[in-house]
Structure 1
């Protein structure tokens, strides 16, 4: 079974290559590192960082040095984090990984990019009222799709084994933003409807799929106004697939075609450069419909599906993975992320039992989240579990 640890480039910069890679090999005993290449905004606590315990990660920043010629004339282009200065931590990681016989994976956040969303609102998803969700990029937008494919080509020059594609899909209303406020109860249906994109490109894709996009948008606006005005209406449990005679559900179905085709394009670009595309599905089966995630189709479009095995017991991890088989995703085409920290594990035996469950199911690859966010004792827990 292949193994790696997800990490930030700032971990490498703050600790130095010898300490960073020494912890990966000598403590965790893994065979690879999954380094964030483009990442979203965050504020995190880093238990073993020698310089700072609390760090803010910049919105939509890149942790490699983009080739200016490749991005000439593009509005959407990766912007290097100020944290890396004049360095190229991805190049440094690639050199060290090769020297130590480790695999390097590029953990890449594609469509959750508030830097680019705020800079170019026309590339962000638009709800039924035309309000833009500026923390995201719309997967149907041609510029966004070109950005995603070009990003893969950029990362190929570092000798990357696999692109771990996070957020290569739509996002709902509550994806997360600082000081996000909802003082009235919206209800699950209103929240779902507010997260559907009605930009020009999404409406055009729906029309090509035979869905009356303008009628759907009108129906969604009316339903939202009714629920935003009336507290009793907001609580009504109306199934989404009953709205507008099922046309709203058909519109959402069309978004799955958008996401699947984007994943196929990115996978093809990765393969052309000798890499794999791992589609990261954080929610699990049955949770991604509104995000355009259709697992059977994505299993064919991407080279691998990765999911979060966050659970306290090995049995719960088994159930999470087994659920994918019911949606056309075989365990042997998956990767699973485990957390070795106390929130999920009470010791090496617990983590080892989870790893053994994955082996017994035929899962070929396990990853551990997250280098900088765990104590060094959790790194030791990984090493003990893998050795056991």
Structure 2
């Protein structure tokens, strides 16, 4: 089974490309997935130079002028990008016969959103309280996504791994979140729907009563903000229909056309540059990121909440990544199996696992999850993230791979 280790340019800068690649190769892994475009973060990096790494938002390459000339949005450029760190890493991987994938965060970008709020999601009250979430329906955002994808592909990577190439969620709208109102999951979902002019127009073109949906969301969420009891239970189409009505559900479902068409454009652009797209759906990340204990609904079944139609994308995208963030190997198998049934038997399906906290406490548990993912239809296993894990935790990878012949 193919395997990759996710890593950041800062990891390579601290330790040296050769040392990092040789260590990864020593784990029995012949691929890396490196962050070419990433969001801002503060990470504890146990074997990094400073032990705490501040990641500014932006790209680790100089944006090609022919791709971004005349565009409204251009990615911020990270310090040191002019030195070509990704080109250096690509050469080092080729020397070792290793594959290199370019990992890019697309529409989660606080820097661009704060600079130009009109390209971000707009809630049912008309507010732009989601500066980190660029709206995939906005024409300028779509042009930016295609240009970014082409840029990463031009780095000579084996694939472009696209994260956040869909609608954002309510809880990921900014870098620092506070709410002392007891919003339930369905209230958060309604509050997180985008009602910008572009989204409203696309929904109306599909026959959806967009204004009715907006008014209903504002009525329900406004009531909870004023003290009404929040809705309980997970977000499902049936529960949402009972709570908010069929027009709201139709509006939410219409968003899949926006995402599907954008992913199709991006995939075609990447292919034109001689690479291929791996679509990384954020649903599994949302469910299990905090504690590795995702709620009952499988990620593939709940992907529609971000506008992701996996069945439709299965006809358009050659490869998918699945955040299998769960402590229980059985849950990993269930999530992978649901994705496999959704995207089709002939698609590449990569399970993204965390070798350490909060999901994994031993090499044996990691091996169990690798076996579970493989049995459920995964064609590759990816491990995240190199710089955030102690060497002792990274050492579980070769042990686990060795247990899964």
> CA 1:70 to 1:353, structure 2 compared with 1: closer, same or farther past 3 Å?
same
Counterpart in 2 of 1:121? 117
Q: Distance in 2 between matches of 1:190 and 1:314?
A: 31
TM-superposed CA distance for 1:287, in Å, is 2.3
TM-superposed CA distance for 1:205, in Å, is 0.4
Counterpart in 1 of 2:360? 345
Counterpart in 2 of 1:311? 326
Counterpart in 1 of 2:34? 35
Counterpart in 2 of 1:151? 148
Q: After alignment, is 253-262 or 375-384 more displaced?
A: 375-384
Alignment of 1:351-362 (within 5 A): 351-362=366-377
TM-score scaled by length of structure 1? 0.92
Counterpart in 2 of 1:275? 275
Q: Which secondary structure does the structure 2 equivalent of 1:337 belong to?
A: strand
Counterpart in 1 of 2:96? 100
TM-score scaled by length of structure 2? 0.89
- Residues 64 and 89 in structure 1, CA contact (< 8 A), matched pair in contact too: yes
Q: After alignment, is 163-172 or 373-382 more displaced?
A: 373-382
Counterpart in 1 of 2:204? 207
Measured against aligned partners, the alpha-carbon deviations of 1:218-272 in whole angstroms (never above 9, x if no partner) come to 222222222221333x347794224664111111111011111111111111122
Q: Distance in 1 between matches of 2:90 and 2:324?
A: 27
Q: Distance in 1 between matches of 2:272 and 2:143?
A: 16
Q: Distance in 1 between matches of 2:334 and 2:15?
A: 37
Q: Distance in 2 between matches of 1:344 and 1:44?
A: 18
Counterpart in 2 of 1:65? 62
The gaps in structure 2 that reach 5 residues or longer are: 285-298
- Residues 261 and 301 in structure 1, CA contact (< 8 A), matched pair in contact too: no
> CA 1:224 to 1:341, structure 2 compared with 1: closer, same or farther past 3 Å?
closer
TM-superposed CA distance for 1:174, in Å, is 0.8
TM-superposed CA distance for 1:342, in Å, is 4.8
- Residues 43 and 54 in structure 2, CA contact (< 8 A), matched pair in contact too: yes
Q: After alignment, is 239-248 or 34-43 more displaced?
A: 239-248
Q: Which secondary structure does the structure 1 equivalent of 2:162 belong to?
A: strand
Q: Distance in 2 between matches of 1:240 and 1:359?
A: 34
Q: Distance in 2 between matches of 1:332 and 1:148?
A: 23
TM-superposed CA distance for 1:11, in Å, is 0.7
TM-superposed CA distance for 1:329, in Å, is 4.3
- Residues 112 and 136 in structure 1, CA contact (< 8 A), matched pair in contact too: yes
- Within the alignment, does 1:53 sit opposite 2:24 as a pair? no
Q: Which secondary structure does the structure 2 equivalent of 1:33 belong to?
A: strand
RMSD in angstroms over aligned alpha carbons?
2.1
Alignment of 1:223-238 (within 5 A): 223-232=220-229, 234-235=230-231
Q: Distance in 2 between matches of 1:189 and 1:303?
A: 33
Higher relative contact order (CA 8 A, sep 6+): 1
Size of the aligned set, in residue pairs, is: 383
Q: Distance in 1 between matches of 2:14 and 2:376?
A: 38
